[in-house]
Structure 1
Amino acid sequence: MKQKLKYLGVVLALPFLFFYSCKTQKGKFEFVNPISGTKVLKGEKLQLKLNFNDAAIDSVVYSVDGDVFDRKTDTTTVAFDTDKHGYGNKRLSAKIYSQGKEDVAYSDLLVVPPAPKAYAFEVVNTYPHDSTAFTQGLYYDNGILYESTGKEDRTSLRKVELKTGKILQKMEGDGTFFGEGMTVVGDKIYFLTWLNKKGFIYDKASLKLLKSFEYGKSQEGWGLTYDGKQFIKSDGSANVYFLDPVSLQETGSLQIFDDNGPVDRINELEYVDGKIYANIYDQSKDEVVIIDPVTGVVEGRINFVGLYDGVRKSADNEMNGIAYKRDTNTLLVTGKDWTKLFEVRLSER
């Protein structure tokens, strides 16, 4: 009964909250330009204009996400340079002082980068792949493919001979965790779990467990790569997280954007020549994006639809797994339970 009364109180309060919100944002003062919900390219300079309804104005304070960027004592337009405020959702506000009273008008912007470049691919080689490998992570080194697989009953860490698909060495999970992305740094393998909020470090030669590490703000483990200075981790959101190379503690995060806004479901990762390559988790398409690790902007997009011609179930057969083959400047790509692994070369369309 206590829970029901609490819920009823929330429901009864909603109309009041909605009315108050509308009154605050759409009172006698409101933005004429830009209209709330407008999408703009980063670098655009906007002229902010308000409807003052002929009121006598004492002053107007303009802010973006709470940070003041201009003040006026009249009703003239104000310039807003999107280049100074990063990507993503931005809340503009104008605090108006008139005849001893204060009011606020709001407008929400979505600041986006230009559309990413489209890349084509050429299949250089096709290799066999274990059809029971629910691929989550992939890494290539000197003829050997390091692969992590998922699902509690099929989680494994393995070394595979690239040309034959033969499993050379294998560590199987104990059924208590769902394996996810992995990467290799030096003589160690770093392996994520999906929902256990921790990852594992293994000896590269023996696949012996050395120790574990805890996650921070990123509650889930999806993809993992290394840029030479720090680890980069995904959790299925539109964010990637940076981890200290020694402690594996999170040191920061970055939101990923394309020309439509935040890019959700960032999955398996690979660091290639200063860029992050990422699978997008989607059952309806096989897609890899190329991300600038400084700005979070998606600079390239590779549509791999049609690459795999094998039998696919209705779900859980998404493309997943990217490894960089440095000696040939090609990518190795596969998917969950795919029977083939492909070596591809990219070219800009």
Structure 2
Amino acid sequence: MHRSILLPALLLLAAQSAPPATAPESVPVAGVSVVARYPHDPAAFTQGLSWCDGVLYESTGHVGRSDVRRVDPASGKIIARAPIPADLFGEGSACWKDALYSVTWTTGEAFRWDRASLRRTGRFSYVGEGWGLTSDGASLVLSDGTDRLRFIDPDGFTERRSVAVTLNGRPLTQLNELEFVEGEILANVWMTGFIARIDPASGKVTGLIDLRPLVAEVAMADRDAVANGIAYDPAGKRLFVTGKTWPTLFEIAVGEPIGRAQ
């Protein structure tokens, strides 16, 4: 029997305006099982995670120590890295063809890196904050802390369109790290321990993934050490998650619904 799950943390992130006076909505909440555990750099303030052509890439944050890196997932060792300018706070990253793109938090600057060498090959400006980044195969997709996802032209880093994200009819903000997986966008919802499954056409949250057991397992004392980082290996159909300064990279399987969010 599935149970109803009240999600006060998520509902607090929603706008205060009530949805239309119709029957209450709810979305399914799925649990996860751990397929494998791998070492992860406990000093990495993970902001972006991507699996591209068999290689794991990561971007990290904090002023003065933000970088983009190529990582061996089996050992957690850093194979190569490139610093983000020391005065900037690095955020999400995503692969596009033979490049890696990364964004910054409040400074409106994005970078393009050659994936093979991690040499910086471009610098762009955008309006607003940068949180998470992914690619749907046609555009880059940027989250900025609001309820909107912005679809970005990789050539000039200009906005093509945006979509408002809603959970049970209410705007959902604090969308953080993003990953495009089999036609949907997965987004860590900051400070909640949940991943939202988002329809990129409508912006509707179609389900939630509960990572709270993994949050409990790593038992981080720092409140900023939240779940953040989603990578998908399309060839192996493998899903990876981690968090900021977590010592573990988890390969997970998403299970059946354990309840519904109201």
TM value normalised by structure 2: 0.87
Segments of structure 1 that go 5 or more residues without pairing to the other structure are 1-36, 45-111
Give, as a single letter, the amino acid of the residue that structure 1 aligns with 2:209.
Answer: I
Distance in 2 of aligned mates of 1:247 and 1:174: 20
Cα offset for 1:153?
A: 2.4
How big is the alpha-carbon RMSD for the aligned residues of Structure 1 and Structure 2? 1.7
Structure 1 position 204 matched with structure 2 position 115: yes
> 8 Å contact 2:45–2:62 — kept in the other structure?
yes
Question: Which residue does the alignment assign to 2:8?
Answer: none
* CA pair 209-38 structure 1, distance change in 2 beyond 3 A: closer
Cα offset for 1:175?
A: 1.4
Distance in 2 of aligned mates of 1:127 and 1:262: 35
Distance in 2 of aligned mates of 1:240 and 1:135: 20
Cα offset for 1:116?
A: 1.6
The DSSP-based 3-state class of the residue aligned with 2:124 is strand
1:126 to 5, 28, 37: 37
Cα offset for 1:245?
A: 3.1
Question: Which residue does the alignment assign to 1:331?
Answer: 239
Cα offset for 1:114?
A: 3.1
Question: Which residue does the alignment assign to 1:257?
Answer: 166
> 8 Å contact 1:143–1:162 — kept in the other structure?
no
Cα offset for 1:292?
A: 0.5
Distance in 1 of aligned mates of 2:183 and 2:53: 21
Distance in 2 of aligned mates of 1:174 and 1:244: 23
* CA pair 143-166 structure 1, distance change in 2 beyond 3 A: farther
Residue by residue, what CA displacement relative to the aligned partner does 1:74-109 show, whole Å, maximum 9, x if unpaired? xxxxxxxxxxxxxxxxxxxxxxxxxxxxxxxxxxxx
Question: Which residue does the alignment assign to 1:62?
Answer: none
Residue by residue, what CA displacement relative to the aligned partner does 1:194-235 show, whole Å, maximum 9, x if unpaired? 11111000111111111111113xx00001111111111000
Question: Which residue does the alignment assign to 1:154?
Answer: 65
> 8 Å contact 1:134–1:154 — kept in the other structure?
no
Residue by residue, what CA displacement relative to the aligned partner does 1:146-175 show, whole Å, maximum 9, x if unpaired? 000000122011000011111100112331
2:197 to 290, 293, 297: 290
Distance in 1 of aligned mates of 2:85 and 2:155: 26
Structure 1 position 231 matched with structure 2 position 140: yes
* CA pair 139-294 structure 1, distance change in 2 beyond 3 A: same
Structure 1 position 138 matched with structure 2 position 49: yes
Distance in 1 of aligned mates of 2:103 and 2:190: 17
* CA pair 203-40 structure 1, distance change in 2 beyond 3 A: same
2:225 to 293, 317, 328: 317
Cα offset for 1:327?
A: 2.5
> 8 Å contact 1:318–1:335 — kept in the other structure?
yes
* CA pair 310-38 structure 1, distance change in 2 beyond 3 A: closer
Query: Which ranges of 4 or more aligned residues in structure 1 deviate by more than 2 Å?
Result: 37-41, 141-144
Residue by residue, what CA displacement relative to the aligned partner does 1:280-313 show, whole Å, maximum 9, x if unpaired? 011xx31100000111100010111021422412
* CA pair 114-339 structure 1, distance change in 2 beyond 3 A: same
Distance in 2 of aligned mates of 1:319 and 1:123: 15
Distance in 1 of aligned mates of 2:150 and 2:205: 16
1:248 to 142, 157, 182: 157
1:343 to 239, 244, 251: 251
Give, as a single letter, the amino acid of the residue that structure 2 aligns with 1:320.
Answer: N
The DSSP-based 3-state class of the residue aligned with 1:154 is coil
Structure 1 position 39 matched with structure 2 position 35: no
Question: Which residue does the alignment assign to 2:11?
Answer: none
Distance in 2 of aligned mates of 1:326 and 1:267: 21
The DSSP-based 3-state class of the residue aligned with 1:343 is strand
Cα offset for 1:260?
A: 5.4
Cα offset for 1:38?
A: 5.6
The DSSP-based 3-state class of the residue aligned with 2:19 is strand
Aligned ranges 1:274-285 → 2 under 5 Å: 274-282=183-191, 285=192
Cα offset for 1:263?
A: 0.5
> 8 Å contact 1:113–1:258 — kept in the other structure?
no
* CA pair 324-310 structure 1, distance change in 2 beyond 3 A: same
Structure (1 or 2) with the larger CA radius of gyration: 1
> 8 Å contact 2:54–2:233 — kept in the other structure?
no
> 8 Å contact 2:25–2:169 — kept in the other structure?
no
- Matched residues, percent identical? 38
TM value normalised by structure 1: 0.66
* CA pair 38-149 structure 1, distance change in 2 beyond 3 A: closer
The DSSP-based 3-state class of the residue aligned with 1:307 is helix
Aligned length: 240
Distance in 1 of aligned mates of 2:249 and 2:138: 29
